[in-house]
Chain A
Amino acid sequence: AQTVTQSQPEMSVQEAETVTLSCTYDTSESDYYLFWYKQPPSRQMILVIRQEAYKQQNATENRFSVNFQKAAKSFSLKISDSQLGDAAMYFCAYRSSPGNQFYFGTGTSLTVIP
């Protein structure tokens, strides 16, 4: 089974600053999808960003962007201009193509300091 590793259990960032959350994964497949989900205190999982492995261009969604390094099997999330509402648990996830099952990392708890 694929494994997803988030080596930072906790991170903090000053409001308006930039923070990068790390994620690495292990797979022998060439085609797959990677995701970052956010889980705020409400515990509702919210999709932040999605990346197809066959695309070389890094995905961006407003203040959120990824650094996808396929050879290194790395998929980090950069949050620019951090806001208080960004405080949450962030999960990295992998899904093969084709396939149904998501593999989640253990999460990184992000604190935003006013």
Chain B
Amino acid sequence: GAVVSQHPSRVICKSGTSVKIECRSLDFQATTMFWYRQFPKQSLMLMATSNEGSKATYEQGVEKDKFLINHASLTLSTLTVTSAHPEDSSFYICSARSPLAGGYTDTQYFGPGTRLTVL
């Protein structure tokens, strides 16, 4: 149980275009989802926290107009990188938390990540 998927796993796009990344909790309902960014050989940097049906809470320094997050249902959150530029190239990871997941009430379950390359 407690599986989180991400799609796509890898995306290459041209500078100026927008890219949407989906995060789904497959076997549980996620009241809260998180989006992280990870640079090579570095730790995870929390970008935003999203709760189903409400606006996402962004961390300081994260541009909310550039990184649009929508948590439309208890199983789906999306991250849209708008007008992507080469500096947005990174590894993006989502995670989901639910009190009903796998018997653990206080654990985040992570998706496999999406590697974004902006040319």
Contacts and interface: CB of A to CB of B under 8 A. Distances in A.
A and B: interacting chains:
yes
Contacts of A100: 32, 34, 49, 97
Contact of B44 (A33, A46, A50, A104): A104
B106 A101 contact: no
Contacts of A107: 41-43
B112 A44 contact: yes
Interface string A38-63: 00001111110010100000000000
B108 A102 contact: yes
Given A33-B106, A106-B42, A45 B49 contact: no
On chain A, which size bracket covers the interface? 20 to 34
Main secondary structure of the interface of B (DSSP, over half): strand
A73 B10 CA distance: 39
Interface in B67-87: none
Contacts of B113: 43-44
Contact of A91 (B43, B49, B104, B109): B43
A99 B113 CA distance: 24
A44 B43 contact: no
Interface of B: 32, 34, 38, 41-44, 46, 49, 91, 93, 95, 97, 104, 106-110, 112-113
Interface of A: 33, 35, 37, 42-47, 50, 52, 89, 91, 95, 97, 100-102, 104-107, 109
Given A44-B112, A45-B95, A101-B49, 19 more contacts: A43-B113, A44-B113, A45-B44, A45-B93, A46-B110, A50-B104, A50-B106, A89-B41, A91-B43, A91-B44, A95-B106, A100-B49, A100-B97, A102-B34, A105-B43, A106-B42, A106-B43, A107-B41, A107-B43
